[in-house]
Amino acid sequence: MYTCVCFYLPDHRRSALSFFTMGSSCSNHLGIPPGNGPNAVGCTDFMMDHTAEGTFFRLYYPCQEMESAGKPDWVPYKEYFNGLADFMKMNRALSERIFNYLFGSFKIPAYLDAPFKSNEKCPVIIFSHGLGAFRTLYSAICAEMASQGFIVASVEHRDQSASATYYFCEKPESERSNEWMYYRALQHGESEFPLRNKQVKQRADECILALDKLTEINSGISVQNVLETHFDWSTLKNSMDLCRIAVMGHSFGGATVIEALCKEVKFKCGVALDSWMTPLDDEIFPRVKQPIFFINSEKFQWAGNISRMKKLDSAVIQRKMITIRGTVHQSFPDFTFLTGNWIGKLMKLKGEIDPELAIDLCNKATLAFLQRHLGLEKNFNQWDPLINGEDENLIPGTNVNLLQSAI
């Protein structure tokens, strides 16, 4: 009955998309909000090797401010539009034109390959995207964390849960080409749990692999980046505080947070945004020993999903939950900032709340939680009340009535 999607399209999606294009003229006034912290933000990409098993992530970090540096396209290649079309069960040729028209001009709010700069060691966040998403679609959250002094690796998963991703086969330079992997839909009659459970395990392993690679980079080991970027990875030597590492994700990425906490104790805490709990085995819940913060939307959650979150309640380990009023499942990815109001609501990319206010509440609550559980010496504790849902736009716990069936 319920599925975890980064993008939701109702049955009337084709007619809705005609309205979608009509409203794009307001895109001049739209854009992904930049970070609010004291640091300028840089970003670069890292691909580990020439196989589908290696890690691939977008790195966000504090940087030297460089107006001369470009800002990367929000969607890097047209193949991602094709993947989104497959995920939404739309015609590729039509949707590529529509998506490119609507979103092709938007940029990530970060300087591409800008030199790293920080006056102190940076805590680390590994971020996991939702079903049908990819590494660049949560740049508002990742850029905010980097502006506040974190190094953030936004993993692009290769378990066929991303709408699209790619790797390079090992060939001579002149023959090298992208090998694309697209979203794998459920087959007719296929049960969802076995596939999603296998995927969430792989996703957690990919998050851990990204952390392992950052650990090597931090120690000064020379790493091969298959991608030809201009970023000097050696400048990250001794840049990270590897005693202060968190894992964070949205939707399927929220389930990935739980799985990764179970598998890797180096993650000191987790932040799960509107988590989709279906992929997880019940037996892992008692094995998770770290603090978890569930930040939910008002419109996505249901009793069965919340009841699984509640299985992680503990008398001795802090497990917190808040709900942001007026939000929908898509209030966390960047799409919510890139459509006009009525179109965004029609496509369920926006809720009733202003999207920048919603993401600001989410980010501030996250920062307060991370300060508390990573032992940071920052001023993020000014937002401690948000952890308890103390704001007119927050609900402590959940808005879902758990007296209804938990199935």
Structure tokens at 236: 């990250």
From the candidates 161, 251, 275, 331, give the one annotated as an active-site residue: 251
Separation of CA 14 from chain center? 27
CA distance linking residue 211 with residue 220, whole number of Å: 14
- 27 carries an active-site annotation: no
- 329 carries an active-site annotation: yes
- 95 carries an active-site annotation: no
CA distance linking residue 223 with residue 271, whole number of Å: 29
What interhelical angle do 92-103 and 13-22 show, nearest 10?
30
From the candidates 129, 157, 329, 373, give the one annotated as an active-site residue: 329
8 A C-beta contact, residue 270 and residue 243: no
| Of the candidates 380, 368, 339, 407, the residue with the CA atom closest to the CA atom of residue 106 | 339
- CA dihedral of residues 188, 190, 302, 159 (deg, nearest 10): -110
Q: Could you tell me where the beta strands, DSSP code E, fall in 39-81? A: 40-47, 56-63
- CA dihedral of residues 59, 63, 66, 67 (deg, nearest 10): 70
Structure tokens at 230: 């201009």
From the candidates 113, 205, 274, 334, give the one annotated as an active-site residue: 274
Give the active site residues: 251, 274, 329
